[in-house]
Amino acid sequence: MNSSAIIYPSIAMFALTIGCIFSMGIARYRGIHAGDVSIKFYRTYTEGAQPERLHLLMRHVQNHFEVPPLFHIAVLFLYTTATVTTATVVIAWLYVAARYVHTAIHLGGNNVSRRFFVFGGSLIFLTALWGLLLWGLL
């Protein structure tokens, strides 16, 4: 197995994160220019309020800096310790796929039950990835 294959899921995860950040930025810009939110709100996030959609986008972007860094760290450790296997690459892709589905649900209809189970599945994939890293090191 080519060890660099583990990097591609990390790049795909980066693409999802940066796409969400740009979407939030565009939505904020449009919200300010449409008069839906005051630019003053973004100074300290305490002056006034923002529309629910902007809050949802902001919360979703924040979410990408909570658990996903653990994924990137696992990928880095797998690569640098030469413990990349077909199983680790498949599980990494499953994690990323779950995160894309999670994004679609959260920013789409936002069905909390579906989102919860998809998020839980992504945590299972992430735990499996870390477990395989440990297994490879032992």
**Residues in CB range of 123: below 8 A, 6 or more apart:** 67
Q: Is 1 exposed, middle or buried (0-12, 13-18, 19+ CB in 10 A)?
A: exposed
**Cβ contacts of residue 83 below 8 Å, gap of 6+?**
77, 132, 133, 136, 137
Does 48 have pLDDT greater than 90?
no
Cα–Cα separations (whole angstroms), residue 89 to 5, 25, 72, 93, 103: 7, 32, 13, 6, 21
pLDDT band at 49 (very low <50, low <70, confident <90, very high): confident
Residue 118, pLDDT above cutoff 80: yes
Lowest mean pLDDT among 37-41, 66-70, 134-138: 37-41
State what percent of residues in the chain have pLDDT above 90: 88
Residue 1 reports pLDDT greater than 80? no
45 pLDDT higher than 90: no
Average pLDDT, integer, range 23-36 = 94
Find the mean pLDDT for residues 112-133: 97
Arithmetic mean of pLDDT, 99-126: 97
CB 92 within 8 A of CB 6: yes
Task: Compute the half-sphere exposure of residue 120: CA atoms within 13 Å on the CB side of its CA.
Answer: 6
C-beta separation of 4 from 75 below 8 A: no
48 DSSP 8-state letter: S
Work out the mean pLDDT of the chain and round it to a whole number. Answer: 95
Q: What's the rounded mean pLDDT across residues 95-116?
A: 97
